Amino acid sequence: MLSVVKDFVKGRNVFTKILVANRGEIACRVIKTARKMGIATVAVYSEADKDALHVQMADEGVLIGPAPAAQSYLLAERIVEACQQTGAEAVHPGYGFLSENAEFSQRLAAAGIAFIGPGVRALKQMGDKIESKQIARDARVNTIPGSDEVLRDAERAVACARAIGYPVMLKASAGGGGKGMRVAYNDQECREGFERATGEARSSFGDDRVFVEKYITEPRHIEIQVLGDAHGNVVYLGERECSLQRRNQKVIEESPSVFLTPETRASMGEQAVALAKAVDYQSAGTVEFIVDGDRNFYFLEMNTRLQVEHAVTEYVTGLDLVELMIRVAAGERLPFTQAEVRCQGWAIEARIYAEDPARKFLPAVGRLVRFSPPAESDGVRVDTGVYEGAEVSIYYDPMIAKLITYGRDRTQCIARMAGALGEFHIQGVTHNIPFLQALVLHPRFAQGRISTNTIAEEYPDGYDPALQAPKDLTLLITAGGVIHRRYRERAVQITDQLPGYELAADESWMVLAGGERHPIVVEPTPDGYQVKHDGVTHRVTTDWHFGDALFRGRFNGEEVCIQVERRQLVYRLRYQGSQIDMMVLPERVAELYAWMPVKQAPNLDKHLLSPMPGLLMRLYAAAGDPVKAGQDLAVVEAMKMENVLRAEQDGVVSRVLAAVGDSLAVDQTILEFE
Ligand code: ADP
Ligand code: ADP
Ligand code: MG
């Protein structure tokens, strides 16, 4: 922590009660800092969030409406009423929802309530991509070549695209959250992209203005954190690289960026500050840039709010950005100058999403039957808004938690991240932890050779942990042996066994895994076990108990952590992004097991199934209709994303089993083919 920050006089000028107009991890994050500052907190919540963690953490809670955000978290009126009802003097909006809504901040101002964010002018001018680009250019910030005008129609889009030169990107001026953009490589794609971007912009943002700009190939996304006060001071707090994205949404972020030279960093920082000053920016904000292979950087957009990934900046600067936001909103001066900002060490954030990487990262929902994050320490931080037993619903963002690690350098930081992901145990909701492990252990990540296309290039079909070659098969077989030995030891202790027929913790087994048979011998030693496999003896020590989800131990002296789940006869082991199912059986049983019938998976070619729980928005086919492979069949909306389901092959629809407006379960049949 910068020493100057401690000089803030506690409580001076600062609010006594604030309302947090958000939910989930960010609401909890804001409440933590407010509490540290001695400020009372008010949570708002929808009917779906009665038992949510942010409501439990706050001093008071106000119910603001039904589950859909449009009837609760997005209703400015309700938030203002909640402030008046509880006497909150200021509102922290978090990110998403009303955080960048100028009208909301005006309403608060009219009611005499402070907005913990930038002024109305900055919100308005930076909230619109076309306008913000113009302002950026006037402030001498590098911008991406483009039309910078609202496109009237598809023909105008094509004319502009030709003038810019393909490839181009069509973008919604009101866009956000990776929505409302399309890449086009030729005229036809440009026309289609224009229609799609326009449609998505209209339905997501109620504003169908679209513009076009050059598409930068193989770019990196690097953004600058800025912070301004009401006295004209603006500083930048280093950068964050957020190049690892899927569907234009961030997955892993880090600070600093491996790619920037001190010169590029300084000129990006200075341009970001120039832009912030041009709109009289008074809060924490982020200026996003796209950087090409030659380190040319171009302004993308400015996010006039706290960013999801702000914690990596907090780690490297030692600052609490929420505290600073609250203080500058109360009129305090920035307690340090640009020259006093120090960035030290390395921080990485991984976003843990309820989604299925094996199904093209589609959102998942369900109850968190197990939710056990790694222990927090100086190098490990977990920001979350859920707890064991909580439900992840279709109504809100699918992010379950953020895991942030810190190290003196990138290597240590990555190792901590890999370790902490291995200890993060979630069951009940499909999640992306194995995928994140694979990403942070990928050689391209270690080398820093990443771009916004990396995930699409390396994982074109998504990521299925069960289909990965196990990271270290010998280790897993050995662990399986020790796990089963522990199970047998426990079984032997069960009382009242028939004399003469007592169970023995036998030692020679066959491990069946990945269609292969691996004979092993597991023998106890004074401090653990030795496992003979393939002519080699491995030493294992562990304090693992049957039922523990994490198997921690030393394998030949090396520390490891493997996640274990028992499913009847099968042990499911997860390690470094891969997953393997195994059975540990006496040899004779293993032989007989080969004769067991295998259940065939049903043939699904004849059905169109909903790939996720969601709402059936549109259906493009009726019974009797012939369909062509690739043709759009239905649109399912979940987690604010529209997902188009297409025909896998030519055929004829025989039955329609769902209607527009239906709530669909995962794998529910929508159409049947002849
Ligand atoms: P960041 O840039 O902070 O990483 P994103 O741009 O991914 O974050 O957006 C943060 C959150 O805000 C996400 O939950 C996203 O869905 C939501 N969000 C951002 N912009 C909008 C918008 N214009 N409309 C609706 N939701 C948005
Ligand atoms: P959002 O408001 O949805 O966050 P951004 O304009 O910040 O939209 O873009 C999101 C992501 O889309 C960027 O991080 C980048 O990966 C990609 N992107 C946006 N514009 C371009 C462009 N002109 N060329 C290449 N990629 C782009
Ligand atoms: Mg962005």
Q: Which domains does the chain have, with CATH numbers?
A: 13-116 (3.40.50.20), 145-214 (3.30.1490.20), 220-344 (3.30.470.20), 351-460 (3.30.470.20), 473-593 (3.30.700.30), 607-673 (2.40.50.100)
Q: Is 307 in the pocket of ligand 1 (CB under 6 A)?
A: yes
Report H helices in 408-562: 410-423, 433-440, 443-447, 454-458, 473-492
Q: Which residues pair with 523 in a beta bridge?
A: 530
The pLDDT value given to residue 503: 65
Distances (CA, A) of 570 to 456, 483, 512: 33, 11, 9
Nearest alpha carbon to residue 278 among 240, 237, 232, 321: 232
CA separation for the pair 292, 81 (Å, rounded): 47
The pLDDT value given to residue 131: 95
Q: Is 397 in the pocket of ligand 1 (CB under 6 A)?
A: yes
The pLDDT value given to residue 605: 74
Helix (H) or strand (E) holding 60: strand 60-65
219 with 241: CB under 8 angstroms? no
Q: Is 216 in the pocket of ligand 2 (CB under 6 A)?
A: yes
Q: Is 308 in the pocket of ligand 1 (CB under 6 A)?
A: yes
CA-proximal residue: ligand 1, atom 9 (nearest): 177
Q: Which residues pair with 43 in a beta bridge?
A: 20, 61
Q: Is 167 in the pocket of ligand 2 (CB under 6 A)?
A: no
Distance 248 CA to ligand 2 centre (A): 6
Q: Is 245 in the pocket of ligand 1 (CB under 6 A)?
A: no
CA separation for the pair 171, 187 (Å, rounded): 16
CA separation for the pair 469, 318 (Å, rounded): 40
Asked about 301 being catalytic, the answer comes back as: yes
Ion ligand 3: residues, Cβ under 5 Å? 288
Q: How many CB atoms lie under 10 A from the CB of residue 500?
A: 5
- Please give the single-letter amino acid code of residue 241: E
The single residue of 301, 332, 355, 642 carrying the catalytic annotation is 301
The closest-lying atom of ligand 1 relative to the alpha carbon of residue 310 is 3
CA-proximal residue: ligand 2, atom 22 (nearest): 215
509 with 484: CB under 8 angstroms? yes
Ligand nearest to the CA of 309: 1
DSSP annotation of 605 reads: T
CA separation for the pair 595, 593 (Å, rounded): 5
Ligand nearest to the CA of 70: 1
The pLDDT value given to residue 178: 81
CA-proximal residue: ligand 1, atom 24 (nearest): 176
Q: Is 576 in the pocket of ligand 1 (CB under 6 A)?
A: no
Provide the 3-class DSSP secondary structure of residue 490: helix
**Vertex 246 angle, CA 269 and 305, to 5°:** 40
Distance 95 CA to ligand 1 centre (A): 7
CA-proximal residue: ligand 1, atom 5 (nearest): 177
Ligand nearest to the CA of 179: 2
Q: Which residues pair with 286 in a beta bridge?
A: 225, 303
Q: Is 615 exposed, middle or buried (0-12, 13-18, 19+ CB in 10 A)?
A: middle
Distances (CA, A) of 310 to 251, 314, 320: 14, 7, 9
Distance 214 CA to ligand 3 centre (A): 16
CA separation for the pair 193, 182 (Å, rounded): 5
Q: Is 247 in the pocket of ligand 1 (CB under 6 A)?
A: no
Residue-wise pLDDT tens digits, 148-196? 899 999 999 999 999 999 999 999 999 887 888 999 999 999 999 999 9
The closest-lying atom of ligand 1 relative to the alpha carbon of residue 204 is 24
Q: Is 248 in the pocket of ligand 2 (CB under 6 A)?
A: yes
Q: Is 219 in the pocket of ligand 2 (CB under 6 A)?
A: yes
The pLDDT value given to residue 601: 66
Torsion 20-307-178-158 (CA) sign: positive
Q: Is 177 in the pocket of ligand 1 (CB under 6 A)?
A: yes
The closest-lying atom of ligand 1 relative to the alpha carbon of residue 307 is 3
Ligand nearest to the CA of 95: 1
Distance 65 CA to ligand 3 centre (A): 29
Distance 415 CA to ligand 3 centre (A): 28
For a ligand 2 pocket test, name from 148, 181, 215 the mutation site with the most ligand atoms within 8 angstroms of its C-beta. Answer: 181
The closest-lying atom of ligand 1 relative to the alpha carbon of residue 174 is 23
Question: What pTM does this model have?
Answer: 0.89
Identify the segments of the chain with pLDDT beneath 50: 1-11
CA-proximal residue: ligand 2, atom 1 (nearest): 176
For a ligand 2 pocket test, name from 290, 299, 305 the mutation site with the most ligand atoms within 8 angstroms of its C-beta. Answer: 290
Provide the 3-class DSSP secondary structure of residue 53: helix
Distance 303 CA to ligand 2 centre (A): 12
For a ligand 1 pocket test, name from 123, 171, 308, 355 the mutation site with the most ligand atoms within 8 angstroms of its C-beta. Answer: 308
Q: Is 309 in the pocket of ligand 1 (CB under 6 A)?
A: yes
CA-proximal residue: ligand 1, atom 20 (nearest): 176
CA separation for the pair 96, 360 (Å, rounded): 24
